[in-house]
Structure 1
C-alpha cells in the first residue's frame, strides 16, 4: 500500500552518548546510508549525556560504556545490548619515548593519577623500564571533565589494582579527581596529550591511532607485558558468561594476552517505542552492523 511505501522511503535516526565507540558508529552509519539510504546521526557527547537523553526520549537510542543496572533499566523501561569491545590505552607525550616503548602497571598509573608520582624518571617507572632513558620531566595528568563511560572503565580498573585509589577515589563516571587537567570527550583528552609535553591521558584505542599518539604497554593481571591490539581486547572477554547479564566488568581479567583496561560499550533503547518504525529501524541498523 502507498502508506507503507512512504514510511519506508528513508528514515533518519538520532543517537547520542559514549565517545568511546563514536569512530566505529560513524563508520557504520556511513556504510549503512550508502547501502540503504537511511541516515543515522550519532553525537558523541559522553555516556552520561547519552543516558540522560534516552531517558528523556530526545533520541532514538542512547549509548553508554558503563552498563546500567537491571533495576535502572526496569525503572526507565529500557533495554540494553552490547555492540563492540574496545580498549582504553594510556597515551603519553614524553620526550624521546616512542609508541609502545614505555611499560606501566596499574599500581603506578594509580599513583600517577593520585598525584603521588610526579616525574617520568620516578623510581617506580624506572623499575618497570630498566632499558629506557627516562627524562627528568614533570608528569602532566590529563583526565575527563565530563561524565564519561571511559572514566568509569579506567577508574574501575584502578580500583582493582591500586588500593589507595580504591579507598580514596573509587570507580565512577565522574569521580573526584585528585589531580589533573580535565578534557571533554575522548577527543578532548587526545588533543591535550598531543599538545602537552610530559602528559599522560586515557583514551579509547582508535583515538590514540587517529591522533598518532604514543601509547604504552601494560602489565596484565597475569603479569604479562603486552601492547594494545584488537586481539588483546577480545582476549579480555574470552571467559565472560554473557548469559547472566550484559553488565559485565572486563577490566583486569586473567588470561593470556588479556588487555587490562577493556570494556564493552552498550546501546540503550526504550522497551516500548512511541514510533514503531523508528524502533524497528534502530534494531535493523545494529543487526546490519553485526552481520558485517
Structure 2
C-alpha cells in the first residue's frame, strides 16, 4: 500500500516537472516569435525594419557580395543584407514583382523589362569580372581554345577532345579520344549573356545574335545546371566536361581553366590582371547610363570574356525613406570603400572615375519625388 502511494507521488512529481519545463520552453520561444512577427509587420511603416535589405539575382557576383555584405554589417550593425543568388533573370523578375529591394544582373535590362518594372531602373556597376572556361580533363593543365573552338563545342560540331581543330593549338598536349560534355546554365543567367555575347562579337558568322541572351535555346548540346555553383559542381563531377563560370568559382574550387585566344591573337588565361587589362580599354568611353560592354576588348594582355555586374535600383523607390537611405548608403559603400575586397576574390575593382559616376547615379534615386542621397 505504501509502495502504491509512493508510486503515485513520484508520478505526480514527474508530471509537475514536465509541465514546468514545457511552460519554460514556451515562454522562451514566444517572445522570439512575436519579435519576428512584429518585424514583418513594421516593414512598410516607420523604420522598424529599415535595416533588413533584401536583394536577389546574379550568382556571378555572389562570392564578392557575400564578403562585402558581411563586412558592411560588421561596421553597421543596424544593417543586414539578405542576398539570394538565383541568377540575373530571377533577380529581375523579383525586382519587377517588388519582392526585393534591389536586384543584381550581369546583363542590362531590356526596355520591355524596364517598362514591366514600372519605371526607369538605374544600372549601377558593382564589379568587373572574368568568365572562365573551366574543364575536367585528367592530366591536361594547359589547354588553349579559340572562340571558334568554343562556338563549335556549344553548337555540337566538335564532339571529341582530340578533334583536329582543338589539337591545332595544343601541339605536344596529349588530348584523349574522349567525348566532350558541355555544361551550360539552365536558369536565366547574366553569365550566359556575357558568354554568348562574347561568341557573337568574336565569331559572328558562327554564333548569331539570336543565340545571345540570359536564356537561349541550346542546340540539344550539353547539360544544364543552375547557378555558377551548379555549373562548377557539374564540371567537377563529370570527366570530359567543360563549362563557363565566374573566375572566383574556379579559384575557390581549385578548378582548371583554359587559355582563350583574344582579339590580338594571344592565348590569355583568366586572372585579375588580364580582366583588369580588358577593362582599361573599355572604360575610356563610359556611356551615360553606365551599361558598359567589356567583351572582346583589344590589348595583348586582355582576357576576352569579361563582364559587368550591375545593381538594379528603381529611380522612383516605393519604400520608406529611412530604409531607402540605408540601402543607398550601403550601395554607395559597395561601389567605393567596398571595392577593396574585390581583388582577393579575383574581381577587378572599379576605377575611381567609374566609382564617382556610380555615386552620381545613386543620387538620382528618389522617394516621393525627393532625392534620398545628398
Scaled by the length of structure 1, the TM-score of the pair is 0.92
How far is the alpha carbon of 1:231 from its aligned partner? 1.7
Aligned to 2:262: 220
- Cα RMSD between the aligned structures? 1.9
What does 1:153-164 align with in structure 2 at a 5 Å threshold?
153-164=194-205
Out of 67, 73, 77, the position equivalent to 1:27 is 67
Aligned to 2:108: 67
Q: Specify whether residues 245 and 270 from structure 1 end up closer, same or farther in structure 2 by C-alpha distance, changes over 3 A only.
A: closer
Say which is worse superposed, 206-215 or 181-190, in terms of deviation: 206-215
* Alignment partners' CA distance in 1, 2:310 and 2:253: 24
Out of 133, 137, 144, the position equivalent to 1:94 is 137
What does 1:79-228 align with in structure 2 at a 5 Å threshold?
79-98=122-141, 101-167=142-208, 170-178=211-219, 179-228=221-270
2:239 counterpart SS class = coil
**Per-residue CA distance 1:271-291 (angstroms, 9 max, x = gap):** 122222222222211222222
Out of 276, 279, 282, the position equivalent to 2:324 is 279
**Per-residue CA distance 1:93-139 (angstroms, 9 max, x = gap):** 012112xx111110101100111001111111111111211111110
How far is the alpha carbon of 1:164 from its aligned partner? 4.8
Q: Show structure 1 runs of 5+ residues with no match.
A: 1-5
Does the Cα contact within 8 Å between 1:169 and 1:176 map onto a contact in 2?
A: no
* Alignment partners' CA distance in 1, 2:73 and 2:204: 48
Of structures 1 and 2, the one with the larger relative CO (CA 8 A, separation 6+) is 1
* Alignment partners' CA distance in 2, 1:257 and 1:71: 37
Which structure is larger by alpha-carbon Rg, 1 or 2? 2
